[in-house]
Structure formats: structure tokens, C-alpha cells
Chain A
Amino acid sequence: MFQKKANHLRRGTALILTLSLMFSLSGCGQSSSQKNTGNQVTITNVSYDPTRELYQAYNEAFTSYYKEKTGTDVEVVMSHGGSGGQARSVVEGADADVVTLALAHDITLVENAGLIESGWIDEFDKASSPYTSTIVFLVRKGNPKNIRNWDDLIKDGMDIITPDPKSSGGACWNFLAAWYYADEKFGGDEKQMKDFVAKLYDNVSVMDSGARGATTTFVENGQGDVLLAWENEALQSVKEHPDEYEIISPSISILAQPSVAIVDQNAEKDQVADVAKDYLEYLYTEDAQKIIGEYGYRPSDENILNSFSDKFDLDMKLCSIDDFGGWDKAYDTFFNDGAIFDEIYNQ
């Protein structure tokens, strides 16, 4: 009796399960095919943490530009997070049509997974970096420890906050900036350079897992005398708390080049390759470059960059990742297990 009933129940449930599965599958299919027909296009931009406000403003500008040009409504879906983690999520199948990440190396990871065609770095101007930034010092108002340059950071009793290059791609820029300063100062004497950077990292009291965490530690929790920060993030902090912080630009730093690329495989599958291309190209237009400057990134357009000279210290000497032979070489030399960072940090 019960067995019989159970059988009915089983059949019924199986039927319901199958039906619901079919519905959900066909539902999915429908929504994705509808996604990009007619006058409505959706593209997904997978970016990193601090670009949130920038892309909010930029997407608005791009949407109205594109509507005017083609009559099509574009909806840009944004995703933000740590740059390395975002790259990994795209590798593992997140449906990104374009990626706008903190460093070219993270895009290379997506390229190596076969999702982006090689040669992407030359697809857009300026090595596919429509905006740049650099590493500066954020200090407490009035600069009580009188920090002027990298030399001041290795003094005894200095308390530095910077994220861990072993877990944050963005933090590698900080290390390389310090390394480049030491290189200039000691004329390439590797022993002295290592000592210098070792002393600097000796003074790091809290090493967060990412740039956002380091900013929280310095700004919200009041730890440390100086935060090694991306210029755009430092500008953001000063804007929010003008009476508490100021920015010190060291004489030498690194040109941080966040890179952008179309995720060819996904964009073609979603049939949005053209929109994606327009979306990234528009970053180089005058209107977009102005938005970029307003949100604290350095515009790649020289003229527009110069018009923001009151905001950015344009006298800093900036090296680039090419001075280190590119990211793969930099990782080999500095950041992989047992490389220079491990050596100086564990000594």
C-alpha cells in the first residue's frame, strides 16, 4: 500500500523535476538569446576594486554616446573585486565580454586560458592602457613624521601599511616602485638594493591581502604612519577626509598601467564583439579621458593629462614594467616562491 503510494509519488516527483529542469533550461536559453537582439545589448565588464566610481560615470557617458550613434541601448553589467581573483573567475567561466584589470599580467592569465587572442596588448592605444596611475604615499594631515621620499620610509620606528605582493597583484607595483628607487640610488648594486627594500618591508606593520584591505587598515583603523597607495585611491581618501590625510609624491615611482582587453571568446559567443570594441575604444576619446581624470586616474592623452596638472604631480620620474622586462620576468625575479621578495622578507 505504502509502496504503491510511494511509487506514485516517486513518478510524480520525477516528472515535476524533469519538467522544472526543462523549463529552467529553456528559460536560460531564451534569456541569453534575447539578451542581444533588437535595440538592447548587454555587455559585462569584469574590473577590479577601485574602478567602481569611474566606470559608473563612464558607462553613463558611453551609453548615451552609443544610443546616439547607433540607436541601440547598451546595458553594462559591472563586476568588481581583487584584480587577481577577477581574472581567475573569468578563467573559470565568468561571462566577461571585456576585462579592465589592474595589471597586464592578470589579463595574460585569461589569455593563457585561451579566452583572449594573443596580441591583445596592441589592440588598443598605449599598450591597451587608456588610463594610468602611480604609487604615492598617503600620510596623516600635517605629515607628522615628515615623510618626503622613499629614504624616509626605512628610518627606524616608521610604520608602513602596504598589501602583500604574494596575494595581491596590485601590491606588486608598490614593491617594484621601491625597488626602482633603490636601483637609481645605489646604481644597480643588488646587495644594497636588497638591504634597502628589506628595511622598508621590515617597517611594514600590517600586510593586508589586498589594496582595499590596506586602505581600511590605514584610514578606518588608524594604523601606520604611511600607506603606500595607488594615486587614484589616495586621491579618493583625501577627497573623503580632506582634514585627515595628505598625499606625498615621491621623486621616483612606477607607472601603473591598468590594462583593458576584449575577452574574444565570450564576446563572440554573446555576439557583442563590436560593442565591446567600441566600449573600450571610447575610453580614449576626449570626453572619456576627462572623466578618467576627474576620478583620479591619469589620462593617457598628454594634453588632457596636462590640464589636470594641479591634481597630479607630473614631475615624478616614473619607470614602467618594461624596465623590469615585463610581468613574467618580474614575477620570476621577485615574487614567485623563493624569489627576491621571499629572500628579503624572511631574512
Chain B
Amino acid sequence: MKSITSKKQPKNIIPAFGINLGITIAMLSALILIPLASILAYSLRLTPGDFFRTLSSEPVRFAFGTSILCSFIAAFINAVFGTIIAWVLVRYSFPGKRILDGLIELPFALPTAVAGITLSKMYSTTGFIGKIFDRYGIRISYTHIGLTIALIFIGIPFVVRAIEPVLEKYDPSYEEAACMLGAGKTETFFKVTLKELFPAILTGFGLAFARGIGEYGSVIFISGNSQKEHTQVISYMIMQKLNYLDYGQATAIALAMLIISFLLLLFINIVQIRQAKRKGA
């Protein structure tokens, strides 16, 4: 043992590196890497022709479009309003702030199916909120609008929780300096504060977006799953294939989803690294 410690290896001051790394790798393998590898293995059972035929069939194509578009819109709305919510929770103090802060996490804790059923009832033409919109001829439940609302609901904590810590650490003296140098309030916000927050907003946006693409429980009740109106989401297509025990096609779609999510997270990481480099330099 001593011979190892006396070697030139960089000493790790924090104890138990070996065991913790071991646990980390074991957990990652058992929970993430091996299941992902099995998806790959399953989808490889299809011939490339079948694989592309599955992905290019009309319902699957539309489902990808619906999932990506609605998730994008939802993530965008979340990025805007999540920033405002985080701003309110960090910058101001008011009674009930703690409760409000806790409420943000509710979508994490609530079973998504419960959220989905509740939202579809609230926003249906006979529901509490849906009734009001119905008077103006706007249907929410069982349309793309309802679908997007469900995705906003499940995505909002990702954005708020990504921005809050950054905003807390953010030094107001930047803003003061901008003000001293003659920038107006709007200019300060857009050119100084928002720039500083941008990586955090992007992280939140990316997480909400990626989560939205894969969401099942909350959207399934409010989307109406109409093939005609293209309100079927991609996770619903996977469930359809599974119901026919068609593991090959189901995993083919899952693999495509996985690649999209991976590219998304990769893109966001690249933007963040660039941002960090620019700041460092």
C-alpha cells in the first residue's frame, strides 16, 4: 500500500475516493448505461430499412413534430416566466415568499397523471377555466394548447431552480456600475443582468425542453391523442407500439428520442462552455 502512496500519483485529499467512484460508476451502469445499451441492442434487431420505415411513417413523424414543437414553445414560455418568477423570489422579500418558493417544486412531487387529469378537467369546455375561453371559441383541453399547458406545468421548476442560485450569487454592483456609466434601467437589465443569467436560463430551458419531449403522464389525458389533429405525442406512439408488443419499433422510436435529447443537452453544454471561456478570458 505504502508503495502506491509513495508513488507520484497526485494525492487526493478528500478521503474515500475509490469507494465513492466505485459506487458512482456502479449506479450509473445499473440505472443508466446498461438500460440505454439495451435500447440500442433492441433497436438493432430491426433491419435499417424497417428502422427508417418506422421513423418515417406518418403518425410517428407527426408525433415527433408535435412533441418537439409543443415542448419548445412550452420551454420558451417557461424560460421567460421562470426568469420572472426566480427574479421575484430572489430580489424581493414579501410575506408568504417561502410558501411560494416551495410551491414551485410541486410539479416535481405531484404524480404527473394527477396533474394531467386535473388540468384536462380545468381546461375542458365545462371546466373552471376552459369555460371562460370556450365563450370566445377557444378550446384548450384536447388541443395543442392544452398539451403545451401541461408541458409548461411540468417544466417550470427546471427553469426556476436553474436560475435562482445564479441570481442569488449575482453581484448587484454590476448593475450599479452600469447605472453609473449611464445605462438606463432597461439597458442595464438586457445588457448586463440578462447576459449574466443567460447560461442558467439556457440550462433551465434545455432541461424543460428535454423533459417535455419525453413526457407521458401529464399530457396523455389533456392531449386527446388524435391522430387526425396531430395531438399524439411521441411517448404515446411508443406506448402504442408496446401495446402490440412491438418492442423493435418501440425502441427504434425511443432511440431517436434519445439522440434528440442527447444533441439538445450537448448543444446547451457547448454554449455554456463557450460562455464560461469568454468570461474567464
Contacts and interface: CB of A to CB of B under 8 A. Distances in A.
Nearest to A87: B245
B16 to A, nearest CB: 5
Contact of A208 (B16, B17, B125, B221): B221
B225 interface: yes
B1 interface: yes
Given A9-B19, A167-B236, A209-B239, A222 B124 contact: yes
Interface in A1-35: 2-7, 9-10, 13-14
Contact of B240 (A5, A6, A91, A166): A166
Tell me if A's interface is mostly helix, strand, loop or mixed. helix
Interface residues on A, range: 35 or more
Contact of A223 (B4, B125, B220, B243): B125
A4 to B, nearest CB: 7
A50 interface: no
Contacts of B125: 222-223
Nearest to B141: A221
Contacts of B17: 6
Contact of A7 (B1, B12, B127): B1
A175 to B, nearest CB: 14
B239 A167 contact: yes
Interface in B1-22: 1, 4-5, 11-13, 15-19
A91 B243 CA distance: 12
A208 B231 CA distance: 11
Nearest to A223: B124
Contact of B4 (A3, A331, A335): A3
A161 to B, nearest CB: 10
B40 interface: no
A209 B226 CA distance: 10
Most chain B CB inside 10 Å of its own CB: which residue of A3, A88, A221: A221
A186 interface: no
A54 interface: no
A337 B142 CA distance: 24
B85 to A, nearest CB: 29
B228 interface: yes
A85 B244 contact: no
A221 B124 contact: yes
Contacts of A207: 224-227
A307 interface: no
Across chains A and B, which 5 residue pairs bring their CB atoms closest together, nearest first? A222-B126, A221-B124, A84-B243, A10-B19, A167-B240
Interface of A: 2-7, 9-10, 13-14, 84-85, 88, 91, 109, 164, 166-169, 205-209, 213, 216-217, 220-223, 331, 335-337, 345-346
Interface of B: 1, 4-5, 11-13, 15-19, 57-58, 117, 120-121, 124-127, 141-142, 220-221, 224-228, 236, 239-240, 242-245
28 contacts: A3-B1, A4-B1, A5-B15, A6-B15, A6-B16, A6-B17, A7-B1, A9-B15, A9-B16, A10-B19, A85-B243, A164-B240, A167-B236, A168-B243, A206-B224, A206-B226, A207-B226, A208-B225, A209-B220, A209-B239, A217-B120, A220-B121, A221-B126, A222-B124, A223-B142, A345-B227, A346-B58, A346-B228
